[in-house]
Amino acid sequence: MAEYTIKVRRFQPESGEGPYWEKFDVDLDPSLSVLDGLLQAKDRDDGSLAVRCSCRAAICGSCGMKINGQSGLGCKTQIGEAQELADKQASATGKGGKGNSIVIEPMGNMPVIKDLVTDMESTHWAKIRRVTPWLLPHGEPPEREYVVEPESMIDITQSMACIQCGACVSSCLSMEADHDFIGPAALAKAYRFVGDPRDAETHERLHDLADDPHGIYDCTHCFSCIDACPKGVAPMDQIMRLRRKAGEQGIEDPNSGHDHEMAFVKIIEKKGTLDESLLLQESFAPGFKGKLKPSKRAIREMLGSIPTAIRGIKTGKMRSLHKLIPGVHPKLPDQDDVKAIYAHAEEHNEEFNLYIKGEEGELAEEDVEKGIERSTDPDTPQEVKNG
Amino acid sequence: MAENIKVAYWPGCVSRGFTPELHGSMALVAQKLGWELVELDRANCCGAGVIAEHNQELADTLNARTFALAQQTGLSMMNICSTCQGAQSECQQRLDADSAYRAHINEVLSGQGLSYEKDKGGFTNKNFLWLLVEDYGLDRLREQVVRPLTGLRVGPFYGCYIVRPKERLGYGEHPDRDIYLEKVIEALGGEVVEYDGARKCCGFPVITMARETSLRQAGTHVGDAIDAGADCLVTPCPLCHLNLDMQQPEAAKVVNRDLGLAVLHLPQLVGLALGAEPRELGMGKHIASTRWVEERLTAATAA
């Protein structure tokens, strides 16, 4: 047994007061969970402390919360580990010492109903419904179940692992700046159907998600959802796969996300290192056609970048021809080697998913049962083929 | 720990592009610390996560080429960009996970006389920040300080790619990597400013795609640091620097408030404490004026 102080952000709407902090001293084994600590405080000190929970085994997804600023599940975070993190964070800002308070807050990006109970409707469930989270097959349904090859479903097992706890939504830094962002949980759910071989509306789904200015190209690539997810879903990775698939289908988007990606890829193929001014130009007005007939957005964005460029010239940051004139940037001495890499990789386009493949020598028995094989012949790698 | 640092050095694209002051200040600081940097001038862009978004195998092969070029020197590798660190670590993790995949990637490299080998001679790729704390050591750094940053209130800004995902970035072995900036600020004699944005996103990855989302992120973090009393921010990521410094006047419009906070590259902050002049460190090239930082340091020296 050990003693801990938990500092809980409380909000009691019926009191008419704003949120406030309250500390509780709890006494439990370090291997028990933060949720256990909260339930002890509720039991011994204040029965009005509101927290949602059910299974206490990281499967029901009810007890999403922020612990020392990190979004996750209360039942999956050991209180001893939470104490170590609290002490480490205190040491970073010179406070130091042991036994610092473990800070517990309701999930972020959601309205708070009471104490640690949040309203997940507007920023989680409504967004999940937004991505049409059910199968859309075409044609007559089969007499019995749909029959698919087991291997063709492996690709979506990662997004299927979601338990709808909302921890990723709580941690999302894009949603913090843009509440309309569809968000990590809903986009991971979208991939679950985009990648499903039974679904017949893949293109329509991808078009819908790319066409929404708050869709797949509004993700700021911050990895927060990857660290927050208690089930290894890695929502950001699923968003990147949605982008890849949308790109492969040639789907254009109002954010110029696909144009930006292709501009970047082509510049490195041509130059080896990044030509920043060319990237800006090609992201908005790609190729000859883009310059012949630039879109309204292209003109607005290019004009909008002029003040920044002028400031850069003034300070000397951009005071050279190859930084100002797109395309003057020199290529690498052995750029042909880079081009050979492009030819090889564009031909194979392997996607290596560590969630599925695992590290070498760590292949679990259940994976073998699931039919996942590891190639031993270096000439025939068996990664999941992209596309 | 006591031996001298000699590394294969990947400066990245942006340090030779829109943040030239980073490349210059790194060279100066290496000289002052007695580090030998063998520049990988034939290496290619890390892809910044964007190439991996297009084609994972392409990103993996491009970075395998960079690692192979570094391994040819017989040295471990250093980068000076959180985004390079994250993008390269992601590819290295996949390459290291599977010998068959590595062999497949090495097929094309072998035609160029190159090969990436896992753990060859204890090969690592570390950001300047990690190398400074883990290999050089904070005690040695403290001994080198000739102008302590006394009274300078510094807000750390890490950049997402160097703090997440923890499992990929070696936090198992080095759990304190997300408080190294605080440790360095303290070792240099400065004061750490606590504010909300230190480990959040600067918004740069979506500056062309979702400009308002992007600039609101940058503006919010700069504003929060100002409200917490910061004299400046410090970052190991030049891409963060672009959004926090170069775009700062534009970010101010989006968050509708006055900003005006100096943002230093990590080697610049170290350089100031090692006695380098702001001009030598290219601080005049910044968009947000660094004059206040210089005045604070002059006042501290005089006092």
* Tens digit of each residue's pLDDT (9 = 90 or more) over A42-71: 999 999 999 999 999 999 999 999 999 999
Q: Residue A239 pLDDT > 60, yes or no?
A: yes
For residues B70 and B109, the answer to whether their CB atoms sit within 8 Å is no
CA torsion sign for B265, B268, B272, B273 is: positive
Considering only CB atoms, which chain A residues are within 8 Å of B16? Answer: 273
Residues present in chain A in total: 387
Asked if B143 is an interface residue toward chain A (Cβ–Cβ < 8 A), one would say: no
Is B32's pLDDT higher than 60?
yes
The rounded distance, in Å, linking the Cα atoms of B178 and B163 is 6
What helix, strand, coil percent values describe chain A, rounded to 5? 45, 10, 45
Rounded to whole angstroms, the maximal C-alpha distance in chain B is: 63
Q: How confident is the model at residue A315 (pLDDT cuts 50, 70, 90)?
A: very high
User: How far apart are the C-alpha atoms of A262 and A264, rounded to whole Å?
Assistant: 5
Across residues A81-89, what is the average pLDDT? Answer: 97
Residues in CB range of A96: below 8 A, 6 or more apart: A90
Distances (CA, A) of B292 to A4, B49, B231, B275: 43, 35, 7, 17
Rounded Cα distance between A48 and A85, Å, is 27
pLDDT, average across residues A318-343: 90
- pLDDT at position A365 is 46
A96 versus B89: which is more confidently predicted?
Answer: B89
Mention every residue, 6+ apart, whose C-beta is less than 8 A from residue A311.
A317, B246, B249, B287
Contact B112 A340 (CB under 8 A): yes
Contact assessment for residue B108 and residue B102, using Cβ atoms and an 8 Å cutoff:
no
**Mean pLDDT along residues A183-193:** 98
Q: What one-character DSSP code corresponds to residue A78?
A: B
- Residue B241 Cα to chain centre, angstroms: 10
Chain A neighbors of B192, CB-CB under 8 A: 92-94
The rounded distance, in Å, linking the Cα atoms of A286 and A212 is 21
Interface of B with A in 158-217 (CB under 8 A): 160-161, 163-166, 175-176, 179, 182-183, 186, 192, 194, 200-201, 203, 205-206, 208-214, 216-217
> A230 with A33: CB under 8 angstroms?
no
Closest by CA position to B5, among listed B34, B46, B45: B34
**pLDDT tens for each residue of B99-114:** 999 999 999 999 999 9
Give, rounded to a whole angstrom, the gap between the first and last alpha carbons of chain B: 35
CA distance A261 to chain B (A): 6
The answer, yes or no, to whether residue A387 has pLDDT greater than 60, is: no
Residue B299 near chain A (CB below 8 Å): no
Residue A383 has pLDDT above 60, yes or no: no
Distance CA A265, CA B52 (A): 10
Residue A366 has pLDDT above 60, yes or no: no
Residues of B in contact with A273 (CB under 8 A): 13, 16, 44-45
Beta bridge mates, B249: none
Contacts of A89 in chain B (CB under 8 A): 179
HEC profile of B126-142:
EEHHHHHHHHHCHHHHH
Contact B197, B123 (CB under 8 A): no
- Of B9, B273, B49, the residue nearest B131 (C-alpha): B9
* pLDDT tens digits for range B113-125: 999 999 999 999 9
DSSP A101: P
Q: What does the angle CA B154 – CA B155 – CA B158 come to, to the nearest 5 degrees? A: 125
Dump pLDDT digits (tens) for A172-182: 999 999 999 99
Mean pLDDT, chain A, integer: 91
Q: Do the bridges between strand A102-105 and strand A2-10 make them parallel or antiparallel, or are there none, so unpaired?
A: parallel
Does B45 sit within 8 Å of A268, measured CB to CB? Answer: yes
- As a whole number of angstroms, the distance between CA B167 and CA B177 comes to 12
The total of other beta-carbon atoms located within 10 Å of residue B229's CB is 12
**Site from B213, B285, B286 to mutate, A interface, most A CB atoms within 10 angstroms:** B213
Q: Is A317 helix (H, G, I), strand (E, B) or coil?
A: coil
**Which residues have a Cβ under 8 Å from the Cβ of B233 and sit 6 or more positions away?**
B154, B155, B156, B157, B222, B225, B244, B261, B262, B263, B264
Q: Of B245, B62, B115, which Cα lies nearest the Cα of A274? A: B62
pLDDT at B3: 75
Find the CB nearest A268 among B51, B203, B246: B51
Is A222 close to B164, i.e. CB distance below 8 A?
yes
Asked if the Cβ–Cβ distance from B56 to A332 is below 8 Å, we say no
Q: Are B270 and B28 in contact (CB under 8 A)?
A: no
**What is the CA angle A324-A329-A334, rounded to 5?**
170
